[in-house]
């Protein structure tokens, strides 16, 4: 096969795309979780393998429809098919832009019909039940669960922060770290939203826990770098006392059993509290509190949110007791 033709084959561009993702993961620009998805789709026999041997420059809308039909015939769910299709389209757009000289694209990328699917409803429970689960967690281990619930942190972010991120004088925490994966040795970089948020936690119990936590930090430990995780797990075997995801889920499951609940950690803490806050905060205020990058990503928290009539009345009649 002529070299000039072979380098335009879909699999050649996929190989370049995967390498680009790996380099961006190494530099902290892309998520290793997303890279693992792409590598799975791109491997021999993967969902993108259907395109092997085709010239990326000549793909048609009909080709895409045939491929999407083939994906459905494999018994793949619509959400996964949508993700796989969106990922392949992104790869083609990158390839076309990479092959161009200057702005624009070197060749037209075919249309990719949207694959419709029903988004699962966000599982939530009333806040009083969230509190019962949290109270069933031993106080010394409760900090990370309080931060996930009330500061709307993802586990990967909550587990990565250090004592130095908490300002004892002002009570502020600088939320800016994120573990790029669930393993303890995963690299720590920025949060998923790529923002740095400095604020005083609003939940009184988390404020008390953070003050208590700093009292446990010894001068000796600080000097040698032991137990420096802010939202620590004092039962952890590692020197930093950092949580791993397995221990986190086990601790939550044990507390759920005590409280008579059966719900996943994110759904029973972060999701449930945000759904309640959606009833009393404006969308922009909710976005600021949740640290989401867009209002659109918050839409599933506001579904079914009920207006706070008492707060609405007080807004126009401050002296009203109704």
Q: If you ran DSSP here, which 8-state letter would residue 47 be given?
A: G
Mean pLDDT value across residues 285-292: 77
Question: 127-313 architecture in CATH?
Answer: Orthogonal Bundle (1.10)
Between the alpha carbon of residue 68 and those of residues 18, 112, 138, 163, 288, the distances in Å are 22, 9, 50, 49, 38
Mean pLDDT value across residues 126-152: 95
Residue 243: CB atoms within 10 A of its CB come to 26
Between the alpha carbon of residue 308 and those of residues 140, 313, 315, 316, the distances in Å are 35, 9, 11, 13
The predicted pLDDT at position 118 comes to: 75
Backbone dihedral angles phi then psi of residue 67, each to the nearest 5 degrees: -65, -45
Highest-confidence range of 213-222, 238-247, 271-280, 285-294, by mean pLDDT?
A: 238-247
The predicted pLDDT at position 318 comes to: 65
What pLDDT band is residue 183 in, cutting at 50, 70 and 90?
confident
Assigned token pair, 202 = 């609003």
Residue 271: CB atoms within 10 A of its CB come to 23
Domain ranges of the chain: 3-98, 127-313
Q: Could you report the per-residue pLDDT of 8-49, keeping only the tens digit for each?
A: 999 999 999 999 999 988 777 777 788 889 999 999 889 999
- pTM over 0.85? The answer is no
């Amino acid at each position: 096969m002529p070299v000039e033709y072979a380098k335009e084959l879909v699999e050649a561009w996929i190989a370049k795309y995967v390498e680009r993702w790996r380099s961006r993961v190494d530099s902290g620009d892309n998520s290793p979780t997303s890279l693992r998805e792409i590598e799975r789709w791109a491997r021999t026999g993967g969902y993108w393998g259907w395109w092997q041997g085709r010239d990326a420059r000549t793909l048609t809308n009909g080709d895409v429809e045939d491929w999407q039909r083939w994906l459905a015939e494999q018994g793949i769910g619509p959400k996964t098919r949508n993700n796989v299709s969106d990922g392949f389209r992104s790869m083609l757009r990158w390839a076309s832009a990479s092959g161009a000289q200057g702005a624009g694209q070197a060749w037209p990328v075919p249309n990719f019909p949207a694959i419709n699917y029903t988004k699962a409803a966000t599982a939530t429970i009333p806040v009083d039940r969230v509190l019962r689960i949290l109270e069933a967690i031993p106080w010394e281990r409760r900090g990370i669960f309080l931060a996930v619930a009330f500061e709307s942190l993802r586990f990967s972010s909550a587990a990565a922060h250090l004592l130095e991120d908490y300002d004892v004088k002002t009570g502020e925490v600088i939320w800016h770290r994120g573990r790029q994966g669930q393993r303890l040795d995963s690299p720590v970089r920025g949060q998923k939203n790529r923002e740095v948020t400095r604020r005083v936690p609003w939940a009184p119990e988390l404020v008390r826990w953070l003050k208590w936590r700093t009292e446990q930090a010894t001068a000796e430990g600080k000097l040698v770098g032991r137990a420096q995780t802010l939202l620590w797990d004092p039962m952890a075997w590692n020197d930093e006392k950092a949580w791993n995801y397995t221990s986190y889920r086990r601790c939550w499951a044990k507390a759920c059993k005590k409280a008579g609940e059966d719900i996943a950690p994110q759904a029973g803490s972060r999701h449930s509290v945000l759904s309640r806050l959606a009833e009393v905060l404006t969308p922009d205020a909710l976005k600021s509190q949740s640290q989401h990058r867009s209002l659109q990503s918050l839409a599933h928290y506001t579904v079914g949110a009920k207006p706070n009539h008492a707060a609405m009345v007080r807004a126009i009649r401050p002296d009203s007791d109704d």
